Amino acid sequence: MFIVKDYGIAVLLCFITMLCWGSWGNTQKMSSKNWRFELFYWDYVLGMVFLSLLSALTFGSMGTEGRSFVDDLQQVERDNFLSALVGGIVFNAGNILLSASIAIAGMSVAFPVGVGIALVLGVVINYMAAQQGDPLFLFVGVSMVVLAIILNALAYKAKKTTSAHTGATKGLWLAIFAGVLMAFFYRFIAASMDLDNFQNPEVGKMTPYTAFFVFSLGVLLSNLIFNTILIKKPFVGVPTSYKAYFAGSFRNHLTGILGGAIWGIGNALNLIAAGKAGAAISYGLGQGATLVAALWGVFIWREFKDVQPSVNGKLTTMFILFVLGIVSIIWAGS
């Protein structure tokens, strides 16, 4: 299987993860005018499962190092299989809330608040489990991200006073709950893998490719429950149905599948990089997606247009803090 052996390459893969995790929300925005997020989300999940299987059968099965996907899946121990599966369930609960927040409050709020919280808590959780990297630079970086999240929340609060944005407070709270849930999913996946030795992984543990596939199964199975409930009892708007989903256009379905595949590419690369960079740093850099998504939301989707100049100042400072925080996290692992 393909294995990363250089820290610089691991950081590069984490940057690609950052771009993928911060950009998939654009597909939801693209389809939101005529396609409910609950329906979009089913295609998103299918795209993720497809990508996980594709990566496992290609990069996860090539070469002579490590275990190939099929061999790895046959030897995995029950506890490790369940750990990755639970990771998928936890992630799905948080990501559904994040998608709902995007639909209500926009990318420039949902990501900095939701994924920002996930970054902060996730780095702490993963570092406590596997202490790799300089703790000073790691937590200085996390502290800067915390300040950036606070500034984003203040900017959003100011925006609400100048905009009749329906359900704005609900969107913010959904992002907060999403962030708390998403902080925990990565630890479950990391625990199922042998992060110290991808070349000759411990018997019973999984390679990152297999772990990602099992994780995606957890997302798919839990979505049968979580999203079915939301379709009948949505956070906002009237209920929809599976009949409406199957009546959707090819373009709508393809947009959702593309969104899931984009997130999946990021996750696959991030798990591969974790073997060299460590779980805390790999996860923290990947969740720099907050910055990418905020840039999309502010400058492309214009979610903060026509606000007071003081709000623009908060947003500028937020971006600077995010950049400094990400640089500090990179330095922690170097």
Q: Which two tokens stand for residue 201?
A: 């992984």
- Measured CA to CA, the distance from residue 145 to residue 161 in angstroms comes to 25
Q: What residue type is assigned to position 145 of the chain?
A: V
Q: Which two tokens stand for residue 66?
A: 């490590």
| Contact assessment for residue 286 and residue 18, using Cβ atoms and an 8 Å cutoff | yes
What is the model's pLDDT at position 294?
76
| Contact assessment for residue 94 and residue 32, using Cβ atoms and an 8 Å cutoff | no
For 316, half-sphere exposure in the C-beta direction (CA atoms, 13 angstrom radius) is 5
What is the model's pLDDT at position 61?
93
- State the greatest distance between any 2 C-alpha atoms of the chain, in Å, as a whole number: 60
Query: What one-character-per-residue DSSP string does 243-264 give?
Result: HHHHTS-HHHHHHHHHHHHHHH
- Measured CA to CA, the distance from residue 268 to residue 84 in angstroms comes to 14
- Residue-wise burial string across 180-206, b where 16 or more C-beta atoms lie within 10 A, e elsewhere: ebbbbbbbbbbbbbbbeebeebeeebb
- Measured CA to CA, the distance from residue 39 to residue 60 in angstroms comes to 31
- DSSP annotation of 133 reads S
- Measured CA to CA, the distance from residue 223 to residue 186 in angstroms comes to 18
| Contact assessment for residue 330 and residue 278, using Cβ atoms and an 8 Å cutoff | no
Which residues are within 8 A (CB) of 53 and not within 5 positions of it... i.e. 6 or more apart? 213, 216
| Contact assessment for residue 37 and residue 244, using Cβ atoms and an 8 Å cutoff | no
Query: What one-character-per-residue DSSP string does 59-107 give?
Result: TTT-SSSS--HHHHHHH--HHHHHHHHHHHHHHHHHHHHHHHHHHHH-H
- pLDDT by residue for the chain (334 residues), tens only, comes to 899 989 899 989 998 999 999 898 899 888 877 899 899 999 999 999 999 999 999 999 998 888 999 999 999 999 999 999 999 999 999 999 988 888 887 777 787 788 778 878 888 888 887 777 788 988 898 888 888 878 877 777 676 555 445 556 788 889 999 999 988 998 999 999 998 888 889 999 999 999 999 999 999 999 999 999 999 999 888 999 999 999 999 999 999 999 999 999 999 999 999 988 888 788 888 877 777 877 887 777 777 777 777 777 888 898 899 889 888 887 887 6
- Closest Cα to residue 212, out of 273, 287, 289? 273
